[in-house]
Amino acid sequence: MSNDRNSLNNEERRVIIDKGTEHPFTGQYTDFIEGGVYLCKQCNAPLYTSQHKFQSSCGWPSFDDEIDGAVKREMDSDGQRTEILCAHCDGHLGHVFEGEMLTDKNLRHCVNSVSLKFMSSDELKKEDQTIQSAYFAGGCFWGVEHLMNQQDGVVSVASGYMGGETENPSYEQVCSKTTGHLEVVEVSYYPEQVSFETLTKLFFEIHDPTQSDGQGPDIGSQYLSAIFYQTDEEKQVSEKLIEILEGNGLKIATQLLPLSTFWKAEDYHQDYYQKNGQQPYCHQYERRF
């Protein structure tokens, strides 16, 4: 991604250069939910990922974390608030607040939408070859997606289907157990921030890899546990971790399967728990390594 300065319109200059504030509940990204990265509107530097964003109902986009080194802080001239700026170009983003107890991180970056430019995961992959993807099946994709999204270094997680015969299957077709597909998540991540091995360890710790007929109360072939590997290295890493778990007395049911076509699921499945304000019903973290 280029870090050249972009031309700004009058409203963008008022906010980014002159440190203004857009009117509440008017910004493009206030209630926006999609997997990807938020860039600086002025210089294209990555600032926040979609898993940092949360709904605060404050009237502006809110984030409870930032990409390491992307945002700098300065005290306002009146000494009352802490301004946040793009660390690359000094463009004004908004202000940061602590102590509101809105998320576990107890932090809120209150950012003007006009200071941001969003890029989806697919757009990022076209521009930034450092982003890689990993593919995991661990029961209902809603829960796996939700918990994988919380890992630092993950750009986005998409729910979908893999491993079957039917092209571009629907949810209803997959649930009929006639297509051979599993519910799978596509985890897009920065390999310099998180490794495939770390993601695979997390995968084994957020579902029950010993269950052979589904996951929790979700029984059926579409809910089986599997890792779809892309390279010999990914397969070897997965085999090593399974060996460790079985050495600790677990009988692992997770299949290792070669990568096949990933079909993205319907829009209503994406970011399901975030959209509905719920928590996973059959996935939870259990330390195994």
Residues 30, 177: Cα–Cα separation, whole Å: 39
Q: To 5 degrees, how large is the angle CA 276–CA 108–CA 28?
A: 65
- Give the DSSP per-residue string, 48-85: EEGGGEE---SSS-EES---TTSEEEEE-TTSSSEEEE
Indicate if the pLDDT at residue 60 is higher than 90: yes
Residues 92, 249: Cα–Cα separation, whole Å: 54
Helix, strand or coil, per DSSP, at residue 86: strand
Q: Which two tokens stand for residue 135?
A: 């593919």
Active site residue 140: yes
CATH architecture of 130-276: 2-Layer Sandwich (3.30)
Please provide residue 78's backbone torsions phi and psi, each rounded to the nearest 5 degrees.
-85, -5
Please provide residue 249's backbone torsions phi and psi, each rounded to the nearest 5 degrees.
100, 5
pLDDT digits (tens, 9 = 90+) for 4-44: 678 899 999 999 999 999 999 999 999 998 888 999 999 98
Beta-carbon contacts of residue 236 (< 8 Å; ≥ 6 apart)? none
pLDDT digits (tens, 9 = 90+) for 61-112: 999 999 878 999 999 887 889 999 999 999 999 999 999 999 888 999 999 9
Active site residue 58: no
Q: Which two tokens stand for residue 14?
A: 């008022």
Sign of CA dihedral 36, 38, 43, 46: negative
Statement: 10-121 belongs to CATH 2.60.40.10? no
* Residues composing the chain: 289
Beta-carbon contacts of residue 271 (< 8 Å; ≥ 6 apart)? 33, 34, 35, 145, 149
267 vs 177 pLDDT, higher one: 177
Indicate if the pLDDT at residue 270 is higher than 80: yes
| Dihedral Cα 280, 108, 188, 140, nearest 10 deg | 10
Residues 56, 103: Cα–Cα separation, whole Å: 9
Domain ranges of the chain: 10-121, 130-276
pLDDT band at 183 (very low <50, low <70, confident <90, very high): very high
Residue 152 is predicted with a pLDDT of: 85
Token pair 């051979």 is found at 180
Indicate if the pLDDT at residue 206 is higher than 80: yes
245 vs 127 pLDDT, higher one: 245
Asked if residues 192 and 130 have their Cβ atoms less than 8 Å apart, the reply is yes
Residue 4 is predicted with a pLDDT of: 61
pLDDT digits (tens, 9 = 90+) for 208-250: 999 999 999 999 999 999 999 999 999 999 999 999 999 999 9
**Full-model pTM:** 0.69
Q: Which two tokens stand for residue 151?
A: 């890992």
Q: Catalytic: which of 43, 86, 140, 282?
A: 140
Is there a common fold for 10-121 and 130-276?
Answer: no
Indicate if the pLDDT at residue 1 is higher than 60: no
Q: Catalytic: which of 40, 43, 110, 282?
A: 110
Helix, strand or coil, per DSSP, at residue 202: helix
